[in-house]
Amino acid sequence: MHQKARGYLIAIALSALAAAIRAVADEPIGDVGLFFNFYVATAAAAVIGGLGPGLLATFATGLAASLLFLPPFGSLWIERADHRALITAFFAIGVVTSLLAGRAQRARIRLAASLEAERQVSARMQAVVEAEGDAIAIVDSDGSIEFVNPALEQTFGYRRDELLGQHLKLLMPEPYRSEADDYLDAYRATRQRRLIGVGREVAGRRKDGATFPIHLSVSEVEVGGRRLFAGSMRDLSASKALEAQLLQAQKMEAVGTLAGGVAHDFNNLLTSILGSVELALAHPESRSLLTRSLERIKLAGNRGEALTKQLLAFSRKQVTRPELLDLNAALRQVRELFERMLGEDVDVKLDLHEGAGTVRIDPAQLDQVVINLVVNARDAMPSGGVLRLATGRANLDAARASRLGLAPGEYATLSIQDAGEGIPAEVRARIFEPFFTTKEPGRGTGLGLSTVLGIVQRHGGAIDVHSEPGLGTTFEIFLPLVAEPAPLAAKSETRIEAPSCESSSILVVEDDPMMCDLLREVLERAGHRVLGAESPAVALELASSQPVDLLISDVIMPGMTGFDLAAKLRTSGGRPRVIFMSGYTDQILADRGELGPDDAFMRKPFRMDELVSKVRALLSRSETGERQARR
């Protein structure tokens, strides 16, 4: 209101000023100059105040002209026709000028309001982007960084001034650096926006050179006729670590479930071993009975070895290592594992489609998926029933593929169906949530199905659930088919050959006295000179008094590892070849690195003929090397 009043006051003042100028300069201005003088005042009022003040000035100056400056003076009547024409034209021009000025003023006001609104929106957006927890960078079509928010500075370790003007590749390791160049080149050439609006997991590179996983989402914006790209990057390091912890926690829960069945099998094996030993000791005169007892003991040992390998392969902590697997063969193999946790009242049926095909998946994680779903199926049938596992193929159309989050096409399928009570609809919507469980306290963490879903999705697949009250539940897993066949398992043979290199000295180091005694006796009967030590300290003492050609050492021992013992013997002047032994998984070697050319590894349990062959091979290689060196 104050602004409007100011405009009207200016109009009155300008009209009065124009009249005063006309009164003072009557003769020089003349009749035409009169109206030009008044029009200047009218136009100025309209420009400054808009339509209202412009009209006020028009009528005020026109009235002043009629009363004060056109005969007859003091009257609104104008005698002369030319004066009447002039004042009519003046009014018309003044009104039109006021209308145009008013419209221009309204346009200016709208423009100013729009600019202010944009400024406020821009300020708010700037504040939002600055406060955003995800790292955000804006780059031009050449990849040059034009803006980064504080979260990006914190995530990547750079200051803002170190990044502005630099290429986006600065934040990427290979192969993503090259991919960024390829994408920008392709975009400039074709304008195809392959990554716009698509989130994907890539790797980022910090200022110190460390790489880490990020989720990258790219959007395209146009500002002032320029095309820019905004990249939002979320650091996945913490979520990946948590995911790995959850996966391992759930896996160990499943191992606990397996333990009961495995313990039952081991008890049977131990009973067979101890019973055979007692029988042989009770009848030492019967050579045939002794032979049969030893055969039973050997068979029980082989079965125990297979059980241990299965359990260790399932429980070990590892990164995902996808392999080409025949789905049917993998299911037959894991059946041996999960049947131990099912009671006799659960009848397992396998329905394997001959052309189920090859998939690319981590074998241990596929086992985990099947075992988790089998455990759920068992719990859904407390009174027993039929548990059906089936493989097959499915051709997903666009509608079903979209619902599952997959691309249309053909997939390998694995279905696990129980005959339980089914899952209510309100529960079915939450079964894949971490820590959600309907089991009694202490009977589950609620991680099983969320882990299953995570494993399947990481391998490019999806899960569909079919369940009706009273009719059971079916979990159907879809995995991408691979055109190439799964590799055949390599067959190995062990040939027992006559020992050689009897003059070589062997040092056996094993902290289990019974194991140490057994290895020493086996190697002595094979014709070797053998020293036995039950600790690394004793081994070092023995090695200091006589040369050692071959060291056979357990890896994990009190006081010193087998790796450290071998290193000490080699740094003290000796150059023994080494056979490392361990009952742990091969991960112990992966943590240490590659074995040297003079080293070998044997995983417990192993057969004695394998040990003798390995010793012979290493010592023969040693003698060959010495002969070549002498030449």
Burial 621-630 (b: 16+ CB within 10 A, else e): ebeeeeeeee
> Is residue 360 one of the residues assigned to a domain?
yes
Whether residues 612 and 515 share a domain: the answer is yes
Quickly state the pLDDT bin for 552 (edges 50, 70, 90).
very high
Q: Spell out the residues 6+ positions from residue 223 whose beta carbon is closer than 8 angstroms to its own.
A: none
Whether residues 402 and 422 share a domain: the answer is yes
What 3-state class would DSSP assign to 464? strand
Q: Are 12 and 60 in contact (CB under 8 A)?
A: yes
Question: pLDDT tens across 556-582, in order?
Answer: 888 888 999 999 998 887 789 999 988
Quickly state the pLDDT bin for 488 (edges 50, 70, 90).
low
Burial 448-487 (b: 16+ CB within 10 A, else e): bbbbbbbbbeebbbbbeeebeeeebbbbbbbbbbbeeebe
The β-bridge relationship of strands 346-351 and 462-468 is: unpaired
φ, ψ dihedrals at 321, nearest 5°: -125, 85
The β-bridge relationship of strands 505-509 and 529-533 is: parallel
- Helix residue ranges per DSSP H, 398-512: 398-404, 425-428, 448-458
**598 alpha carbon, distance to own chain's centre:** 40
- CA dist 542 to 535, 549, 571, 622, Å? 11, 13, 16, 21
Q: Are 582 and 604 in contact (CB under 8 A)?
A: yes
What 3-state class would DSSP assign to 416? strand
Question: pLDDT tens across 272-283, in order?
Answer: 788 778 878 888
| Cα 342 to Cα 161: distance, rounded to the nearest angstrom | 63
The reply to whether the predicted model has a pTM over 0.85 is no
Q: Residue type at 82?
A: D
Q: Spell out the residues 6+ positions from residue 84 whose beta carbon is closer than 8 angstroms to its own.
A: 78
Q: What is the mean pLDDT of residues 306-326?
A: 65
| Cα 160 to Cα 322: distance, rounded to the nearest angstrom | 40
Whether residues 435 and 290 share a domain: the answer is yes
| Cα 508 to Cα 532: distance, rounded to the nearest angstrom | 5
Nearest to 497 by CA among 359, 620, 328: 620
Whether residues 581 and 535 share a domain: the answer is yes
| Cα 375 to Cα 341: distance, rounded to the nearest angstrom | 8
> Is residue 477 one of the residues assigned to a domain?
yes
How many C-beta atoms surround the C-beta of residue 518 within 10 A?
Answer: 14
- Return the DSSP state at 217: E
Q: Are 420 and 385 in contact (CB under 8 A)?
A: yes
φ, ψ dihedrals at 235, nearest 5°: -70, 120
Least confident among 237-246, 352-361, 551-560: 237-246
Domain stop point among 55, 74, 109: 109
Residue of 488 and 582 predicted with greater confidence: 582
CATH number of the domain where residue 526 is located: 3.40.50.2300
Domain stop point among 63, 93, 109: 109
Nearest to 559 by CA among 548, 547, 568, 550: 568
Residue of 519 and 127 predicted with greater confidence: 519
| Cα 245 to Cα 507: distance, rounded to the nearest angstrom | 41
Whether residues 332 and 256 share a domain: the answer is yes
CATH number of the domain where residue 162 is located: 3.30.450.20
| Cα 575 to Cα 502: distance, rounded to the nearest angstrom | 18
Quickly state the pLDDT bin for 631 (edges 50, 70, 90).
very low
Whether residues 228 and 259 share a domain: the answer is no
- Return the DSSP state at 167: B
- Helix residue ranges per DSSP H, 25-80: 26-49, 51-64
| C-alpha dihedral sign at 142, 144, 146, 152 | positive
Where would I find the beta strands (DSSP E) of 433-528?
462-468, 472-482, 505-509
Most confident of 129-133, 554-558, 584-588: 554-558
Q: Percent of the chain beyond pLDDT 70?
A: 77
> Is residue 489 one of the residues assigned to a domain?
no
> Is residue 497 one of the residues assigned to a domain?
no
> Is residue 224 one of the residues assigned to a domain?
yes
Question: pLDDT tens across 69-108, in order?
Answer: 777 766 777 777 777 777 788 778 878 888 888 888 888 8
Q: What is the mean pLDDT of residues 474-500?
A: 65
> Is residue 427 one of the residues assigned to a domain?
yes
The predicted pLDDT at position 232 comes to 87
Quickly state the pLDDT bin for 442 (edges 50, 70, 90).
very low
Whether residues 211 and 248 share a domain: the answer is no
HSE (side-chain half, CA atoms, 13 Å) at 282? 7
> Is residue 45 one of the residues assigned to a domain?
yes
State how many domains the chain has: 4
CATH number of the domain where residue 439 is located: 3.30.565.10
Whether residues 334 and 375 share a domain: the answer is yes
Q: Spell out the residues 6+ positions from residue 562 whose beta carbon is closer than 8 angstroms to its own.
A: 509, 553, 554, 555, 556, 578, 580, 581, 582
Beta-bridge partner residues of 602: 581
Q: Residue type at 106?
A: R
- Helix residue ranges per DSSP H, 504-571: 513-525, 536-545, 562-571
Whether residues 309 and 442 share a domain: the answer is yes
Expressed in percent and rounded to 5, the helix, strand and coil fractions of the chain are: 55, 20, 25
DSSP string, 234-278: EE-HHHHHHHHHHHHHHHHHHHHHHHHHHHHHHHHHHHHHHHHHH
What 3-state class would DSSP assign to 382? coil
Whether residues 474 and 386 share a domain: the answer is yes
Whether residues 414 and 371 share a domain: the answer is yes
Question: pLDDT tens across 173-222, in order?
Answer: 888 877 777 777 776 666 655 555 456 788 899 999 899 999 888 887 77
Q: Which residue has the tokens 């998946």?
A: 361
- CA dist 163 to 76, 119, 136, 137, Å? 76, 26, 12, 10
Domain ranges, residue 161 = 133-235
> Is residue 127 one of the residues assigned to a domain?
no
Q: Which residue has the tokens 């994680």?
A: 365
Whether residues 328 and 405 share a domain: the answer is yes
